[in-house]
Structure 1
Amino acid sequence: MTPLSSLATLRRNGTPRGITSVCSAHPVVLRAALRFGRDHATPVLIEATCNQVNHQGGYTGMTPADFAALVRDLAAQENCPPDLVLLGGDHLGPNPWRDLPAAEAMRQAEAMIAAYVEAGFRKLHLDASMGCKGEPPALDDATTASRAARLAAVAETAARASGGPLPLYIIGTEVPPPGGADHALDSIAPTSADAARTTIAIHRATFAAAGLQDAFSRAIGLVVQPGVEFGNHNVIFYDRSKTAALSALLDEEPQFVFEAHSTDYQGTPPLAALVQDGFPILKVGPELTFVLREALYALDLIASDLIPDYGDRPLMQAMEAVMLADPANWQRHYGEDSATQHLLRHFSLSDRIRYYWPHPTARQAVDRLLAALSGITVPLPLFWQHMPAAAAAFAGRPLDPTALLVWRVGTSLSAYHAACHPQA
């Protein structure tokens, strides 16, 4: 059994384990995940989304083959064994083309999922829940399942043609808004057991009617809302008292576990409770780029204080300029007040600044920062001032700033590892 296909068995046997799903295309985050997997001999599940990576390039400009090549290259650099690396595709469906008529949007979705499979992705989240041109924003279960089955049929054909293991599937679509909510939250209702039961039943019947029983036997997970979320300012933590009925559904459906989205910022105890309660696939993304930004800004402050000709926080200034020049990725999410917008552009938990790190101006500013501090000995008091958690490992010796960035992302991954491997 694979690390993914064994999750349901481990739960049934009373020895639940989890797996961290790293949802990021940032090379430093990917490097940190691969290094962590190598050092702990644990699987590294890395997922790309349909908007981020697709056969037309997505907003990263990468096809599935490009993304897979990036991960393989970084894994080789980190000496991470290839058999530890698992690639997944998230929200695979017509979402990037939902402004088109459904027939054309689904043709594009089919081409995309084939490209994912051909590039070696074997964990596929089938998500055709969104309406296309002239349709309601959210589709009924029957239409969603029918379109998911169409995508699975394409994936099965592509997998058999390209060789390798057959795909594992994730179904269901009840997830938080991508990247977190835009407003302060008090609570969020978990998925009802009845809704989850219906989703499974309709997908099972639809796949069977399409002759896809074998594919459905490899449906290992159902996306549900376990009542976790984060907004710009706050986090809604997992409350297991609200999910007892939902968790009990897994006893009726022993082939399944639940996949939890937006688990960012939960910390180890809530994450461990999620794993224990049948939500072992823990997706994280914005937290990892948030702590990366946190470390970059700390280094920016250190360099400003330490190096006479470096300037006054030039990295933060560069990011502010880039975001103001191209506000599309943050403007709708951060309200109308200019002071609040400024704060959230840099420090929102939704971390929409992550979309701007690939910009040439941002890359130049990061490169200048790393070059300025490379090999420089940073005094202990300066680390205590700007990044105290890193002081013990990095103060008083020649600094490798990239190693510090990887370390900082790794501290977040450690919280997930502790939750997923409680006896490790």
Structure 2
Amino acid sequence: METKSMPLKTLLEQHKQGQSIGIYAICSAHPLVLEAALLHAKAENTLLLVEATSNQVDQYGGYTGMTPADFFQAIMAQAASIGFDTSKLILGGDHLGPNRWQGLTADAAMDKAEVLVAAYVAAGFKKIHLDCSMACRDDSVPLSDQIVAARSARLAKIAEDTAYDNFGCRDIVYIIGTEVPVPGGAKEELQTLAVTAPAAAARTIKTHQQAFAQRGLKDTWPRVIGLVVQPGVEFDHTQVIDYQPELAEELSQMINEYPYLVYEAHSTDYQLPNAFQQLVRDHFAILKVGPALTFALREALFSLECIEQEIVLDNLSKLRATLESVMQEEPEYWLHHYHGDENEQRLARRYSYSDRIRYYWPNERVQRSYQTLIDNLSNADIPLPLLNQYLPEQYARVRAGELTLNPKNLIIDKIINVIKAYSLACH
């Protein structure tokens, strides 16, 4: 069997050998978020892991309108445009399985999941999260570990065959398991959150290893590098459950029994900076971040609109009003997530940690409003006291000569602030 260099696997092997290092995964398709991540990784000279999820990007375009090949080509072009070494760029597919087609029968949903996985691998994605934990229309609930594992192994076989057919080698690394609550933040207010039991994690590993062997993938198993578990971190619309290392101690120790495996922690958004370091130390060596990045983007844009309203006399962008109008007219991405009275829903649409507003940035009207905002402020002199009022951290960097004062730089710097806490913990 031909193999190629797998930088991510090498990095995690160093973690297993006792180095307190890990990697963060940028889970966003927004161009400004991706640019910020590329610029920061270039400055730090580190690997960059970027992931697309099964609802963002699929064979039909997902909510971004991009297929896996589209996403791959777009980020590679973006990387090249800023001089980022693409050999350091790793692309992953998150929650790949029947998630998008749970309303179909299991056979029909898995057929589409096979096409999905093949599309990701053929496009050049090298890290594949196999997630078959969701029940389909004709499934009994809950699914047994054996059914979940068998479906995951079925998709792994597709990935292996696709890699060999397209690239002449088998160099995919895999993540198994899933977290609870669902990806992207909890839909309801959280009261309690249970850490995954070590026995449950061990059972997931065992059933998947058996299923891989039954599919003829015994030699592939050492490239299963991560297990998704719940370490006790999550966020809902208004609160964050912070990592408590003592609650995950047994789970943390359990993974030492497996020579190739680390944990992958989802929904780590909004944790305090020291929590990221503790998570990496406790073998949650892959940290996923998504909504916190577009939350920072939204904060920057709202702040810039406040500045615009102070210094621009006409043709205002009306960004917040445009977003509110579009979200009211097209409520599918927030209506079943944000509850309460009219005012509570309004606040959630704008400020929720779950950041459902991120689904609306590609909208044409919103994009026109965004571009008006950028154009208005690019052609205006932003007074430093006004910058300090709305973007004080960026003001400090402008004063120190570390940041050039223009709207795009301010937005990217705001996003990089989030990334820095992850980068510090992982390196």
TM-score band, normalised by shorter chain: over 0.9
CA distance in 2, matches of 1:11, 1:405: 33
Structure 1 contact 20–417 (Cα < 8 Å) conserved: yes
Structure 1 contact 394–404 (Cα < 8 Å) conserved: no
- 1:3, distance to aligned residue in structure 2 (A): 3.8
Residue 155 (structure 2) pairs with residue 151 (structure 1) = yes
Alignment gaps of 5+ in structure 1: none
- 1:257, distance to aligned residue in structure 2 (A): 0.1
Structure 1 contact 304–310 (Cα < 8 Å) conserved: no
Match of 2:225 in 1: 220
- 1:186, distance to aligned residue in structure 2 (A): 4.2
Residues 61-210 of structure 1: matches in 2 within 5 Å? 61-163=65-167, 166-210=171-215
Distance 1:398 1:230, change over 3 A: closer
Match of 2:417 in 1: 411
- 1:398, distance to aligned residue in structure 2 (A): 7.4
> Which of 368, 374, 381 is the equivalent residue of 1:364?
368
Structure 1 contact 37–43 (Cα < 8 Å) conserved: yes
Match of 1:327 in 2: 331
Match of 1:298 in 2: 303
Match of 2:42 in 1: 38
Match of 2:387 in 1: 383
Match of 2:272 in 1: 267
Partner deviation per Cα, 1:310-331 (whole Å, 9 max, x = no partner): 44x7111111101011111111
Distance 1:165 1:134, change over 3 A: closer
Tell me whether 257-266 or 331-340 shows the greater mean CA deviation: 331-340
Q: Secondary structure at the match of 1:96?
A: helix
Q: In the comparison of the two structures, how many residue pairs are matched? A: 420
Residue 225 (structure 2) pairs with residue 243 (structure 1) = no
Residue 294 (structure 2) pairs with residue 289 (structure 1) = yes
Match of 2:260 in 1: 255
Partner deviation per Cα, 1:334-377 (whole Å, 9 max, x = no partner): 11300000101000000000000000010000000000011432
Structure 1 contact 88–122 (Cα < 8 Å) conserved: yes
- Letter of the structure 2 residue corresponding to residue 225 of structure 1: Q
- 1:99, distance to aligned residue in structure 2 (A): 0.9
Partner deviation per Cα, 1:45-70 (whole Å, 9 max, x = no partner): 00011111111111111100000011
- 1:137, distance to aligned residue in structure 2 (A): 4.6
Partner deviation per Cα, 1:198-218 (whole Å, 9 max, x = no partner): 000111111112210112121
- 1:91, distance to aligned residue in structure 2 (A): 0.6
Residue 406 (structure 2) pairs with residue 400 (structure 1) = yes
Structure 2 contact 6–171 (Cα < 8 Å) conserved: no
CA distance in 2, matches of 1:373, 1:165: 49
Q: Secondary structure at the match of 1:332?
A: coil
Q: Secondary structure at the match of 2:8?
A: coil
- Letter of the structure 1 residue corresponding to residue 78 of structure 2: L
CA distance in 2, matches of 1:77, 1:223: 34
Q: Secondary structure at the match of 1:331?
A: coil
Match of 1:50 in 2: 54
Partner deviation per Cα, 1:2-57 (whole Å, 9 max, x = no partner): 44213443233221211110000000001111111111111110001111111111
Q: Secondary structure at the match of 1:153?
A: helix
Structure 1 contact 7–18 (Cα < 8 Å) conserved: yes
Partner deviation per Cα, 1:154-178 (whole Å, 9 max, x = no partner): 0000000111552000011134322
Distance 1:189 1:177, change over 3 A: same
Structure 1 contact 149–206 (Cα < 8 Å) conserved: yes
Q: Secondary structure at the match of 1:125?
A: strand
- Letter of the structure 1 residue corresponding to residue 186 of structure 2: A
- 1:187, distance to aligned residue in structure 2 (A): 3.5
Q: Secondary structure at the match of 1:66?
A: helix
TM-score normalised over the length of structure 2: 0.95
CA distance in 1, matches of 2:394, 2:179: 38
- 1:383, distance to aligned residue in structure 2 (A): 1.2
Alignment gaps of 5+ in structure 2: none
CA distance in 2, matches of 1:92, 1:24: 15
Tell me whether 27-36 or 159-168 shows the greater mean CA deviation: 159-168
Q: Secondary structure at the match of 1:243?
A: helix
Residue 264 (structure 2) pairs with residue 279 (structure 1) = no
Identity rate, percent: 46
- 1:385, distance to aligned residue in structure 2 (A): 1.5
CA distance in 2, matches of 1:162, 1:226: 37
> Which of 5, 12, 17 is the equivalent residue of 2:9?
5
TM-score normalised over the length of structure 1: 0.96
Structure 2 contact 49–90 (Cα < 8 Å) conserved: yes
Structure 2 contact 15–22 (Cα < 8 Å) conserved: no
CA distance in 2, matches of 1:325, 1:284: 29
